[in-house]
Structure 1
Amino acid sequence: MLVKHMANPKRVWFRISAGSQLGMGHLVRCSHMAQALNEHDIETAFLIDQCLPQYQAWLGNSHVQSLYPEDNYQSQRIDAEHCCKYIGRHDWVIVDDYRLDVEWETSVAKTAQRVIAIDDLANRIHYCDVLLDYRNSKMLDRYEAILPKHCRKLLGPQFCLLGAEYRNTINRRPSTHDRFVIMVSLGGGGDFTLLHPIITKLLELPPQDFEIRVIAGAMSVNTQYLDALQLQHDHLSVIRNSNSLCNHYQCAHLFIGAAGTALYELNACELPALTFAISNNQNTVTIELEELGHYLHIPFHELQNIDGIKQLVKTAKSHYKRFIALCKTTTIKIDGLGAKRVASALLEQPLLNKKKSHHKSTCLVREYFFETLQPGITVAKVQDTDINHYLDARNLPENRDRMTVRQHISRIEHYNWWFNNDRHCYVLRKNGAAMLYIWHQLKIEKGQQYLIGGWFIANNDCGLELSALALEWQLQHCRKHHPDAIWLAIINKENKYVNLLNSMHGFTMVSQNSLEHEAIEKFFPMASSERFNYLACAPLRSTAG
């Protein structure tokens, strides 16, 4: 609760920043907040460095005051002095500007009745009555040391500031048997030079099967080449001056673009996405992205892998049921009512209830397998929701050093492999925490069935006893389902423990002229006999006989 009840303000001022470098995110989300306050008959106004014509579509009937029509922002002190010329003592101020912190807020608080700060970085001290951050509410403690004691915190995605059109979204996307629609966007700003190689590469996709729709934001720069490309390619369309992307999301199959507000809009529209960060405030940890249903996120430098991005688009079309299920597998569901909730909270009215969230188990599309090995220890088939954790574990230095491919695997490379491989992968968990991943694959060579496999740790607390338990389970499981298959294995010669463990389960060295040796060289072309021992284990039928 707030410290004391305050009468509704005469006017609410929004101090925001926007532009080609900053994008339009702060302006757009504050315009949604202004609209929600207008519904309560609260007058709203904006304080902006310079009011450009591109802003007008989002400002509605709000009054706008340009602070620097002929010069530029200089300091927090000077900016506060400019703002206080317009702010009345019965007015509230909502500040959404990374340049401004406790210095500006303390000065403005001497004039305004209340100061509300919007933040999503938690990297500066605030002096405000209310703090709004609609990123993951699990990160509550990050504000404890930088807010005054009287400040009320509105934290979590239920307060996400989206437009009213996201309250009741409808799936209008056509069947994937028709054209597969790819939506490309950098948000309200951004330099489209960044996307030129990607868009050009995507245009190589068959026009009868794919359509590319590029959203050029109001403050986007270097978009001239898009018009020339549009004249050359019938399956490319450039969309400009769109105040809302909601309808475009609902008619697309896949989004490729910058993170930010789009993460929440995509969640509301249940649209699969490949996202990346182009600014510091878009750097979001993997767990936060996954809770919103965004499992395909790449670091900025991987945008150079244009062939990999093109392949992932083709993969999305081929495995679209899995892509859709993955984006629906969320613990957070955005319902488009966040701005109304914030308005109600500020005006000390009852908050709207949240819609019930999805649970991950409702969206699984892969075969499900689960078995308890010991109390608290289970093995289960990996699901698509494990896609990032699997890669993070595989890329651990202690795992890579013992593999045939020792280099770091990129996310784009991994995502393409993940949806197209035919391995059987499992995860062993102890008390719910992933300890190791183990896999096997059936191969047939010259009429003989072979099994190949491997495992790697996913947790530094994974002891030797768990790896032994996992291997024992795997051998029993595979002998039950593939009794005629010969197990083949390659083990790093320096890995004394694993060599000993496999020998205890019947693995022996293969002779150089054997069929098993020939099969190993084919299945593991990068495993040299100088670094690895070549091993085989006879099938169950032959050992039993």
Structure 2
Amino acid sequence: MNIFIRTDASVEIGTGHVMRCLTLAKDLKMKGARVTFICRKLTGNLLNYIEEQGFEVNSLPQPNESNFKIDSMIKHSHWLKVYWKIDMNQTKNILKKEPQIDWLIVDHYAIDKKWEREMRPLVRKIMVIDDLADRFHDCDLLLDQNIQLDKRYDKFVPKTSLKLLGPKYALLRQEFRDARKQLRFRDGNIKCILIFFGGSDSTNETIKTLEAIKLLDKKNIKVDVVVGSTNKNKEQIKLFCEDLPNTIFHCQIDYIAQLMLKADLSIGAGGSSTWERCYLGLPTLTIETANNQAEIISILDNIGVISHLGKSHDVRTEDIVEKLEYLLNNSDDLKRISNSSLCVMGDESIENVVVQYILGGNMSKLQKYTLQDMKEDNLELVLKWRNSKTIRSSMYTDHIITMTEHKEWFKKLANDDSTIVKIFLSESKPLGLVNISKIDKKNNKCYWGFYIGEQDAPLGSGTIMGILALEFIFEKLGIRKICSEILEYNNASLRYHKKLGFIEEGRFVKHLIKNDQYIDVILMAHFSEKWADGKKDLLLIGGIDHDRN
């Protein structure tokens, strides 16, 4: 697979866009894809660093105009340092040399649908990585790893675009995934502080924070200071660190996850490092260093995930000292922030979701599976499945069904508009059955039942059957609500329903007699408005596994 990435780094832009694209590029490369970068030679670029990471870079010329035309419709259009049509034509000239490009990935606040549309004839699909939701895009896939407001991108991307929204889709390097397995309990005491304001730190918050550390004068606290190679003040910062006790200077490193694990508190900006810190439960004092950080910082501060000090031009050295002194005497606050950080990321960040989608992922497995109307030819096989001990034990009625009863049931289906029965097949081999019953058109709801009948069904068949069934019910039939009733001891079915996105609504207490005992029946339901996100997760997040139910 041939993939190109259009992104930039500069003193003004920072390094975060390139760094997260490198994370994605490395994952794609590990899966066998060829990944090539397209970047402009801006002051503070990372072209050499990208090449050092093992990727080819096509460089766009260094801008030679100081008063170039900007696009008044795009807030950050000046980041390109050339008019968008010039950037578009230069990029097209690179792409035209390739016989086939499967994906073009764009991570740039200065690019919108006008630029993207021009690339359509040259690439099969387009992915956009964004944080702002402030311009229109022409893309097949959009990724925004920030905490989302409902329907934030609905008007900005085509209806056919897949949107991966929220911190669980954060692009995290392997070092963070590995570090997550080594998480330690943070007791709220500050013994080690990490200072990192991104690769370039254009507002020089690092020096301001080091001055605060000096004023704090706590010689028992260790301090790690991290800067990028593009930080224009890195030599001054290095000298400052050398004069402070227990302070270590780090430049352009690949082990920051380990420093985050070791730290009890971080002081930094609100860029892409936010999710790395949250993923490792690291409490953070933030200073806003760019306007595009404002929204996410405000949300995280309000829900207690960070402690925000303010905008860079408003935050004084004394403000940092005052907050540090407060936290040194209020360990419970730090413990709370740490727990909130972990919670906002979920139990685990979802690994390689974007990679799975780009490379086809689990969706490609669906192509050989189908649902077809049950036919008379299926009667004997279905009766065999239905009478098996495993399946009978999970049913309301568990007696051995005769062929006469079975044929009578099938005959009634022809005149029953409230029931649809489908056979689940892998290629041409029947594997199981889906029964959609009690279809209520007035209230737009139905019930369902299902089973995998073949014991040698491929791994993951149960989940695939569920996806196809819910897709048919919600998308083809237009049903609003699917109801299900599960015997209380059927734990496998309960797990299966939860995995598909069903929620528990209640139970019928001591509702049925089984093995001479009255048992509860658990009521579960799924809703059409929840299906789009649920389907996306099932397709992309390793949902297809060992389920046979």
Bin the TM-score by the shorter chain. 0.5 to 0.7
**Equivalents in 2 of 1:285, 1:83: separation in Å?**
31
In structure 2, the partner of 1:68 is 61
Shift in Å, 1:122: 0.8
TM norm structure 1: 0.57
Q: Structure 2: which amino acid aligns with 1:36?
A: D
Shift in Å, 1:334: 5.7
Seen in structure 2, the aligned counterparts of structure 1 residues 12 and 301 have a Cα distance that, compared at 3 Å, is closer
**Equivalents in 2 of 1:335, 1:164: separation in Å?**
17
In structure 1, the partner of 2:176 is 166
In structure 2, the partner of 1:84 is 92
Seen in structure 2, the aligned counterparts of structure 1 residues 79 and 338 have a Cα distance that, compared at 3 Å, is farther
In structure 2, the partner of 1:155 is 165
| Contact preservation (8 Å) 2:11, 2:230 | yes
| Contact preservation (8 Å) 1:101, 1:124 | yes
In structure 1, the partner of 2:7 is 16
| Contact preservation (8 Å) 1:292, 1:332 | no
Q: Structure 1: which amino acid aligns with 2:262?
A: C
In structure 2, the partner of 1:132 is 143
Seen in structure 2, the aligned counterparts of structure 1 residues 146 and 306 have a Cα distance that, compared at 3 Å, is same
| Contact preservation (8 Å) 2:196, 2:269 | yes
The 5 Å alignment of 1:172-251 reads 180-191=191-202, 193-251=204-262
| Contact preservation (8 Å) 1:193, 1:223 | no
**Equivalents in 2 of 1:78, 1:329: separation in Å?**
45
In structure 2, the partner of 1:341 is 353
1:350 pairs with one of 362, 381, 387? 362
Seen in structure 2, the aligned counterparts of structure 1 residues 192 and 144 have a Cα distance that, compared at 3 Å, is closer
In structure 1, the partner of 2:406 is none
Equivalent residue of 1:117, what SS?
A: strand
Shift in Å, 1:58: 4.5
Shift in Å, 1:280: 2.2
Shift in Å, 1:285: 4.5
Q: Structure 2: which amino acid aligns with 1:28?
A: M
Seen in structure 2, the aligned counterparts of structure 1 residues 39 and 140 have a Cα distance that, compared at 3 Å, is farther
**Equivalents in 2 of 1:201, 1:287: separation in Å?**
23
Is 1:109 the counterpart of 2:117? The answer is: no
**Equivalents in 1 of 2:355, 2:347: separation in Å?**
16
Aligned residues: 340
Shift in Å, 1:69: 4.7
| Contact preservation (8 Å) 2:188, 2:332 | no
Equivalent residue of 1:167, what SS?
A: helix
Equivalent residue of 1:199, what SS?
A: helix
**Equivalents in 2 of 1:226, 1:248: separation in Å?**
18
Cα RMSD between the aligned structures? 2.8
Q: Structure 2: which amino acid aligns with 1:13?
A: F
2:156 pairs with one of 139, 146, 153? 146
Shift in Å, 1:326: 2.6
Q: Structure 2: which amino acid aligns with 1:79?
A: D
Shift in Å, 1:163: 0.2
- Can you list the C-alpha shifts for 1:468-518, whole angstroms capped at 9, x where unaligned? xxxxxxxxxxxxxxxxxxxxxxxxxxxxxxxxxxxxxxxxxxxxxxxxxxx
Equivalent residue of 2:217, what SS?
A: coil
In structure 1, the partner of 2:386 is none
Shift in Å, 1:292: 7.8
Seen in structure 2, the aligned counterparts of structure 1 residues 315 and 163 have a Cα distance that, compared at 3 Å, is same
Shift in Å, 1:320: 2.3
Q: Structure 1: which amino acid aligns with 2:236?
A: Y
Percent identity between the two aligned chains: 23
The 5 Å alignment of 1:248-397 reads 248-285=259-296, 288-289=299-300, 294-300=305-311, 303-330=314-341, 331-333=343-345, 337-338=349-350, 340-350=352-362
Equivalent residue of 1:304, what SS?
A: coil
- Can you list the C-alpha shifts for 1:215-271, whole angstroms capped at 9, x where unaligned? 122222223332332332223222112134211111111111101112111111111
Seen in structure 2, the aligned counterparts of structure 1 residues 333 and 107 have a Cα distance that, compared at 3 Å, is same
Shift in Å, 1:32: 0.8
| Contact preservation (8 Å) 1:180, 1:317 | no
Is 1:45 the counterpart of 2:36? The answer is: yes
Q: Structure 2: which amino acid aligns with 1:48?
A: C
Shift in Å, 1:42: 0.8
**Equivalents in 2 of 1:83, 1:277: separation in Å?**
32
| Contact preservation (8 Å) 2:47, 2:59 | no
| Contact preservation (8 Å) 1:185, 1:256 | yes
**Equivalents in 2 of 1:305, 1:53: separation in Å?**
30
| Contact preservation (8 Å) 1:189, 1:217 | yes
Larger mean Cα displacement after TM superposition, 257-266 or 293-302: 293-302
Shift in Å, 1:112: 1.0
Larger mean Cα displacement after TM superposition, 302-311 or 87-96: 302-311
**Equivalents in 1 of 2:237, 2:57: separation in Å?**
32
| Contact preservation (8 Å) 1:161, 1:338 | no
| Contact preservation (8 Å) 1:165, 1:336 | no
- Can you list the C-alpha shifts for 1:90-146, whole angstroms capped at 9, x where unaligned? 311000111111111010112111111111111111111111111124x24121112
In structure 2, the partner of 1:387 is none
Equivalent residue of 2:143, what SS?
A: strand
| Contact preservation (8 Å) 1:293, 1:327 | no
Equivalent residue of 1:276, what SS?
A: strand
Shift in Å, 1:71: 4.3
Q: Structure 2: which amino acid aligns with 1:118?
A: I
Shift in Å, 1:293: 5.4
Seen in structure 2, the aligned counterparts of structure 1 residues 100 and 37 have a Cα distance that, compared at 3 Å, is same
| Contact preservation (8 Å) 1:23, 1:189 | yes
Seen in structure 2, the aligned counterparts of structure 1 residues 48 and 347 have a Cα distance that, compared at 3 Å, is same
Q: Structure 1: which amino acid aligns with 2:151?
A: D
**Equivalents in 1 of 2:19, 2:346: separation in Å?**
17
